[in-house]
Structure 1
Amino acid sequence: MKIERTLLASALLLAFHPAVRADDQEIINDGKIQQVVVTASPLRNGEGDQILTPAKVLAGDELRDKVGSSLGETLQNELGVSASAFGAGASRPIIRGMEGSRVKMLENGMATSDVSGLSNDHAVASEGAIARQIEILRGPAALLYGSGAIGGLVNVVNERIPTALEPKLTGQVETRLSTVDNGKDMSGTLDGSIGKIGLHLDGNARNTDDYQIPDLRVVNDPTSRMNRLPNSDTKERNIGIGGSYIDDWGYAGLSASHLTNFYGIPTDEGSHIDQRQNRYDFDSVVKNPLAGLESARVKAGYTDYHHAELDDGVPATLFSNKSFESRVELTHKPITSLGLHGTFGVQTENTHFSALSAAGGPDTVPVTHSTTQAAFLVEEWSQGPLRWNAGLRYENVDRKPVSNRERTFDLGSGSIGALWPFTKGYSAGATVSYAQRAPATEELYSGGPHDATLTFDVGDPNLQKEVSRNIELSLQKTSGLLRWRVNAYRNNVNNFIYGHIMDASFDEDGNPGGEFRQRLFQQAKAHVQGAEAEMTWNQIGMGWNGRVFADTSRGYLDDAGNLPLQPADRVGAAIGYRQPHWRAGLDWTHARGQDRLAAFETSTTPSYNQVNANVSYTQRLEHLDLTYFVTAKNLLNEDIRLATSLLKDIAPLPGRNVVFGVRAKF
């Protein structure tokens, strides 16, 4: 399918032209693989050229090989990315040691508006199995999509609103069977057009049982030996439909989707979460609307989200989030006299959020109405051999709970970066960013039990806004069969908000002495620093290819020790072979033991080796490509426990898993 614009491209600060075409990240043509640019850069740069905001785009065969039952599982081995791993149903990406609301989740460039940022047991309300591509932005992303995303962005692109007319009916259907959990997964997409109206349909259905684990459920507890992890089952359904009117002037379209997700929480209590979401979106682009403007884009979305946390099948806490978001983006034509080219716009968001007790006890989070208004400006220019970009964002956030402890925050953010191609095929870059984040609703107003995490959360309505200062340096080789890149970064955050687990415990009514450990939201000065390196060989050609990588990240608080749930240092390597019809790969990731614990953490995480493999064969028929594939994950059947998981002591990742599947593309 043609992509008129990759929706996260604006956030990459280089994205100001609306037209770019791609069928996949890589396509096969006359026996050769050609790289297709998937980000709408004015210089038509590929993913590897984006030094100022290092990004990763998963698409095509690479995405299909890595897709899992959650976004965290799908992305957990990407450079600088780990996962929260709260069972098979809920695993959220963690970027450079930042988690929760500091990592913004988008679908087609608009907020998912779920509550996955509140707690690791809440699933992201977006499905990777029907995604055309998944885009990762590592580093501050305050300017265009919100000052709160100081850790980064993940954007799931499913193109429910068509941006180009298909000359004939196209689509794909895929089915998978997995051994580790008796899983069954079927997904599909369909695109077509009637006259000047583009149409889209997609859907996904997944059923999995409790997954198998290598040996012990609880670390160093021989009595916990078992074959399967209890309450790790999932049942998910997702359907979406969209249409748009497309002409030479641009397009305008609507989409609607419905998601249901029922999954287990593998704690001793055996909780389940019943998640439901209805989503409606509008998107339009008008080319050359006024003198001096290249394009005008208007987007709006309404989301009605609910989930219930079930204790023995009975609702304990009811979460609700109703959200309306709007965006206007205006891209101006190049100002020749100044050499400027950029975009400016406004964004609004209006939400009603609550986490209420279903049993008459204290509410976890009271009903809170939040409004956000923001304006942003990003510009790009060249000066001699240097390419520059800079941007500003102003944002006002107002949070008003029923308790009338209203808080208002004025937030300012800015960024400036430069890229220096100092010789052919080599580039160096640097960015400096300043971002402010308003405390989330739960950080301000929590005051009740959270069954899935067994914590009694207590917010602080007097919390101050976070202030982040970030610097990043990059160096890379961008041409030839052998390519590489190195990134180093440091992020200093004043008033960093974190949940401190106390020794005190309460029952579900707030009385002392129960099973819920008290979690207080506090603030301190924090530092996160790290580095990433990657080297690839022949990533877009036939024959043999390879990759080696390493990443490390460390976060700590002034006078208060390490940040909790910090990722382990990793190294890895991969080798593959590609022909027009056959494709195979083998990859290995080694994670070191993680003993840098927060003051209230009690157990270290052992090292592990994860080995995955895949092989596929594509049979090309007249109007149909049939791909038969086998993917093996955790071939060594290792006991893998992620340092970033709250359940690392009691819930290992799945054991050896072989996935058999077939995909039909037409």
Structure 2
Amino acid sequence: MQLQYLKSLLFFMVVANAASLFSQKNETVLVHGKVYDSYTREVVSAATVSVSGGSAGVITDERGEFSLMLPVNERVTVNLTHIGYYPYSFTHIPQKNAPMDLVIYFIPKDLNLEAVLITGNHFHSKFEEISNLAGVVEGVDLQKNLGLTLAATLKNETGLAIRSMGPAPARPVIRGLGGDRILFTEDGAKTADLSSTSPDHALTIEPFSITRADIIRGPRVLLFSPVTLGGVVNVVRHDIPVENFSGISAGAGSYYESANNGFLYGGRTELGTGPLVVQAGFTSRSSTNLRTPGGTLKNSFSSITGFSVGGSWVTEPGFMGYSYRSIDMEYGIPGGFVGSHPNGVRISVFRNVYSAKGSLNFDSGLLHNLTLHYSRSFYRHKEYERNDLIGAEFRIVDHYAYLNLEHHIFGFNEDGVIGLSGQLRDFEVGGFVFTPYSTSKNLALYFWQPFNYNGLSFEFSGRVNGDVITPRTTKKADIGIIRERDFITWSFSASMIYGLSESLFAGTNLSRSSRVPTIEELFSEGPHLAAYSYETGNPDLESESGLGYELFIYWRSKGLYALLNAYYYSLDGFILPRNTGRTNYQTFLPIYATSGEDANLTGFEFETEVEPFSGFTLSSRISYTSGSFAAGGALPQIPPLKLVFGANYRFGSGATIELSTETAMAQERTDSFESPTAGYTIVNSGIYQPFTLGRFTGLLSAGVDNLFDIEYRNHLSRVKSIMPEAGRNFRTTLRIYFH
């Protein structure tokens, strides 16, 4: 009897477990999506949406929308196809009680996948959605805002300002933070130049050749940099092709602006046969002195030539490839103010990069992808006081590598990344600069992990850095003992978003940031003639650290999105060069001394876009940062409150006309020996039209910046005392693609 009871109990348990497993296996979650044409931004109907290995798919309706049921906790691959567009696929693990809303952009077959406007994207989480809406510049938006520099192209993005010393060396500043707190990367690899060290050093990224610019903040920053309080600007070009295709495609274009007779042209072609894909591209740019309402800014010319070539062997398991890129530039630094040369300084820069990259996909439940990258960069920078006299010369040889593993090891319901990176940099100077020849080494271990739980989206990341900075010789100098310095630093960041309703979301970010001083901040001692300063470093500097707190609210519904951020940064040992008010009378240059001071930054950002009726859109962006030393007084070089309002109307066959205003309030909170700046409002306008002619597709745009020729000054400009910003500026862009 007892044996019979045990048999019955065992049978019941087996059946119950089987039923439970069957029930879990058949649980599903609803996925809703909307498909757009990446070029015209119109919805795409009659597209097929299916799951690999599943039953027949669904079709997008006349609004471009679809709904699909996907199994919970199973890795599925969703495929989207349409006769007029390139197919698109993505892999995801749906979660219980976590419905997905996707926004997917199809690439028209008339356009080349690599040279074109937008890459398809989908949102695994609200983090990705917010990042794509507020932190990505691509497609039509990238082309219609194109400028001669990357800073000019991104200038109206929320939270960004421009640090400049003339048009050519302009560089973006995010939330009042500049220098190497803002890292620039190309296809995920660090850009090896000196643009972060001085306002006269230009960024060696030419914007005409890029497909997309990602402004990365939050936990993902730690995949690239230990400075969580700044950000990463990653430009995407795919010099090493990562997608396979057959045939030939090409793109070409030109850009002109009247304020400096700036003209830029370039092109790229790509050939695919079997698993082999090769590409080659070039750009050329030239501009004369900048015209302003106050006159001509002398010695503000620039010229750039860029070239790239690359190839990749692409198969189903992954790819491996190699590329070469070079840029040769020459530009002027204006003169005419205290400490400057009467006629300014001419700067010549050359950089080349050899890169190798491979990626391997794994058919495994734990390991999904392995990516290995290596690049070797050479950078040479010369500053001429006269045609025959070099005042300063810098030379860098940089080796950089990273290994990233995309995994599912820890059981979270989203893939994470574990990585290792290393960098070796040889830094050599010449001319009248007295920074010693030095070598810096860096080794970093990092991770990033997103996951979702019951309507909550989480991301967290960490990074440990080891840095050694070694001068060629140890010696006693006026600034202290020049010697080897080593640093161990760590950073951490965590973000959370919670859905308060179907449209309203709230979130927070907590982060711990770290940064080591640069070679120049430690060891500089002498004149920097192009920057018109006498710079003194501090070999006793410790690493900089900071805590960041951020709250944000996000709303998205049909025809409306809005994002509000408020942040507070507390910085220990904030490293910065400050004007001491003293003059070195051997060179008659103002002395800038580097120190580490406790400081804090507070600010907010708001952006919104609303479509009151079809084809008409209103937008606004507001950015504000306030910076103070803990001991009292304002931080230097903090941008004022900035407001950008815009309206655009789409009509006819995709043509769009737009009108915008850019307003900056007066900046009167300044550091000692820093001058205040008056506020201003300028008006900009533009029109752009996509077109198709047989197998050619393109975009033609025209615009006017500073429509009423207003005289205004940028608070972060080192030459604002002698000349205002550009006057009325007519711009035209033409891009054509062939496939």
Under a length normalisation based on structure 1, what TM-score does the superposition of the two structures give? 0.89
Matched, 1:652 2:733: no
Structure 2: how far apart are the matches of 1:188 and 1:594? 42
Structure 1 residue 330: deviation in Å? 0.4
Structure 1 residue 28: deviation in Å? 4.6
Structure 1 residue 418: deviation in Å? 1.0
Name the SS for the 2:449 alignment partner.
strand
**Residue identity opposite 1:297 in structure 2:** T
Structure 2: how far apart are the matches of 1:515 and 1:143? 42
Name the SS for the 1:648 alignment partner.
coil
Q: How does 1:438-449 map to 2 (within 5 A)?
A: 438-449=516-527
Give the CA RMSD over aligned residues.
Answer: 2.3
Aligned to 2:380: 306
Aligned to 1:350: 424
**Residue identity opposite 1:595 in structure 2:** E
**Residue identity opposite 2:710 in structure 1:** E
**Residue identity opposite 1:317 in structure 2:** A
Name the SS for the 2:408 alignment partner.
strand
Name the SS for the 1:365 alignment partner.
coil
Aligned to 1:610: 682
Matched, 1:79 2:158: yes
Per mean C-alpha deviation after superposition, the further-off stretch among 430-439 and 653-662 is 653-662
Structure 1: how far apart are the matches of 2:521 and 2:512? 22
Matched, 1:533 2:606: yes
Matched, 1:372 2:455: no
**Residue identity opposite 1:502 in structure 2:** T
Matched, 1:233 2:307: no
Matched, 1:399 2:469: yes
Structure 2: how far apart are the matches of 1:575 and 1:40? 25
Aligned to 1:427: 505
Structure 2: how far apart are the matches of 1:140 and 1:168? 39
Paired residue for 2:593, among 513, 520, 523? Answer: 520
Q: How does 1:158-173 map to 2 (within 5 A)?
A: 158-173=237-252
Distance 1:289 1:499, change over 3 A: farther
Percent of aligned positions that are identical: 24
Paired residue for 2:640, among 568, 582, 607? Answer: 568
Paired residue for 2:452, among 375, 382, 393? Answer: 382
**Residue identity opposite 1:147 in structure 2:** P
Aligned to 2:576: 498
Q: How does 1:202-601 map to 2 (within 5 A)?
A: 202-215=281-294, 226=295, 228-268=296-336, 269=341, 270-288=344-362, 292-313=366-387, 314-333=389-408, 335-336=410-411, 339=413, 341-357=415-431, 361=432, 363-404=433-474, 405-506=483-584, 512-538=585-611, 543-579=615-651, 580-601=653-674
Aligned to 2:13: none
Aligned to 2:9: none
Matched, 1:636 2:717: no
Structure 1 residue 162: deviation in Å? 0.7
Aligned to 1:15: none
Does the Cα contact within 8 Å between 1:106 and 1:154 map onto a contact in 2? yes
Structure 2: how far apart are the matches of 1:40 and 1:576? 24
Matched, 1:627 2:705: no
Does the Cα contact within 8 Å between 2:218 and 2:495 map onto a contact in 1? no
Structure 1: how far apart are the matches of 2:222 and 2:560? 34
Structure 1 residue 385: deviation in Å? 2.0
Distance 1:663 1:74, change over 3 A: same
Structure 1 residue 148: deviation in Å? 3.9
Does the Cα contact within 8 Å between 1:234 and 1:262 map onto a contact in 2? yes
Q: How does 1:116-195 map to 2 (within 5 A)?
A: 116-138=195-217, 143-148=222-227, 150-195=229-274
Does the Cα contact within 8 Å between 1:575 and 1:587 map onto a contact in 2? yes
| CA deviations over 1:535-578 (Å, ceiling 9, x no partner) | 10239x96111101211001111224111111010122101112
**Residue identity opposite 1:91 in structure 2:** A
Per mean C-alpha deviation after superposition, the further-off stretch among 627-636 and 38-47 is 38-47
Distance 1:107 1:25, change over 3 A: farther
Structure 1: how far apart are the matches of 2:506 and 2:218? 17
Distance 1:340 1:334, change over 3 A: farther
Does the Cα contact within 8 Å between 2:219 and 2:494 map onto a contact in 1? no
Structure 1: how far apart are the matches of 2:250 and 2:43? 19
Structure 1 residue 334: deviation in Å? 6.3
* Structure 1: gaps of 5 or more residues: 1-20, 216-225, 507-511
Distance 1:196 1:58, change over 3 A: same
Structure 1: how far apart are the matches of 2:131 and 2:587? 51
Per mean C-alpha deviation after superposition, the further-off stretch among 247-256 and 288-297 is 288-297
Does the Cα contact within 8 Å between 2:368 and 2:406 map onto a contact in 1? yes
The structure number with the bigger radius of gyration is 2
**Residue identity opposite 2:278 in structure 1:** L
Structure 2: how far apart are the matches of 1:385 and 1:211? 53
Structure 2: how far apart are the matches of 1:184 and 1:382? 48
Distance 1:25 1:592, change over 3 A: farther
**Residue identity opposite 2:461 in structure 1:** G
| CA deviations over 1:425-477 (Å, ceiling 9, x no partner) | 21111110001111111110111111112111111111010011001111011
Structure 2: how far apart are the matches of 1:39 and 1:490? 34
Structure 1 residue 47: deviation in Å? 5.4
Distance 1:23 1:433, change over 3 A: farther
Structure 1 residue 593: deviation in Å? 0.6
Structure 1 residue 38: deviation in Å? 5.5
Structure 2: how far apart are the matches of 1:452 and 1:563? 24
Structure 1: how far apart are the matches of 2:663 and 2:643? 5
Does the Cα contact within 8 Å between 1:476 and 1:483 map onto a contact in 2? yes
Aligned to 1:49: 130
Structure 2: how far apart are the matches of 1:645 and 1:45? 37
Structure 1 residue 367: deviation in Å? 1.1
Aligned to 2:11: none
Distance 1:475 1:92, change over 3 A: same
Aligned to 2:169: 90
The alignment of Structure 1 onto Structure 2 pairs a total of residues equal to 621
Distance 1:55 1:396, change over 3 A: farther
Structure 1 residue 648: deviation in Å? 2.1
Does the Cα contact within 8 Å between 2:435 and 2:524 map onto a contact in 1? yes
Distance 1:39 1:445, change over 3 A: farther
Structure 2: how far apart are the matches of 1:355 and 1:134? 32
Per mean C-alpha deviation after superposition, the further-off stretch among 384-393 and 343-352 is 384-393
**Residue identity opposite 1:660 in structure 2:** T
**Residue identity opposite 1:285 in structure 2:** S
Q: How does 1:58-69 map to 2 (within 5 A)?
A: 58-69=137-148
Structure 1 residue 176: deviation in Å? 2.3
Name the SS for the 1:412 alignment partner.
strand
Structure 1 residue 171: deviation in Å? 2.8
| CA deviations over 1:351-371 (Å, ceiling 9, x no partner) | 0113322xxx4x342211000
Structure 1: how far apart are the matches of 2:191 and 2:728? 32
* Structure 2: gaps of 5 or more residues: 1-34, 46-62, 65-102, 106-117, 475-482
